[in-house]
Copies of this chain bind each other. A is one copy, B any other.
Amino acid sequence: MNFKQLQKDINIQFKNEDLLKQAFMHTSYVNEHREQQLEDNERLEFLGDAVLELAVSQYLYREYKHMSEGELTKFRANIVCEPSLEKFAKDLNLNEFLLLGKGEEKSGGRERPSLLADAYEALIGAIYLDQGFDQVITFLSDFMYPKIEPGAFSHAMDYKTQLQELVQQDGKQVQYKIVDEIGPAHNRKFVADVFVGSEKKGKGTGRTKKEAEQEAAQKALKGM
């Protein structure tokens, strides 16, 4: 566990490194080291969850100006949820840093999605306390927001339907064109353009035509 290296990896130098360490401290570890009077990461997780909700909310509020409150809420729920947070945590190899009790370690706690998601939220809480909200935004801009962009959540969000509904209000039509195919047959990528009326509004790529169109629709929505 090299917390110096972690700080380099995430571009943050903690004033209070104990706070960083606490973010990874599972209650099972604290219970096995009672003499050290440690505090587990649960309260940090409580705080970090709220920090993350706001950071993601304001990002979506600003980036997706056309989205209704209901759509924003659904989108946010798909980002601030265990499977997504586990993924963000694994991308940073946070599982290596978890401080677990022996029993928890043996039973596979290090790979448990809930522990990883909790640690991610606790880390956000620790950054917030030690560095402030702006640094959280910088962290998320480096390591999370870009993963929201390229259709990573398109399983949850049907952008084509959204674009269709938005455009109907103005009595216009949406059209998609596959304008290119890239790469060899076994690793083909498609490129789609989307037109609203006669105007080109977005371009997307994907491993299927539908994926490419979804991304194009998402880009169009962001520009409207």
Q: Which residues from chain A sit less than 8 Å from chain B, CB to CB?
A: 42-43, 45-47, 49-51, 53-54, 56-58, 61, 67-69, 72-73, 133
What chain B residues lie within 8 Å of A43 (beta carbons)? 61, 67-69, 72
The listed residue with most B CB atoms (<10 A of its CB), out of A42, A49, A50, A57, is: A50
- 17 of the cross-chain contacts (CB-CB < 8 Å) are A43-B61, A43-B68, A45-B69, A46-B61, A46-B72, A46-B73, A47-B57, A47-B58, A47-B61, A50-B50, A50-B53, A50-B54, A50-B56, A51-B54, A51-B57, A53-B53, A133-B133
Report copies per complex: 2
What chain B residues lie within 8 Å of A73 (beta carbons)? 46
Q: Are A68 and B53 in contact (CB under 8 A)?
A: no
Q: Are B46 and A50 in contact (CB under 8 A)?
A: no
Chain B proximity of A123: nearest CB distance (Å): 15
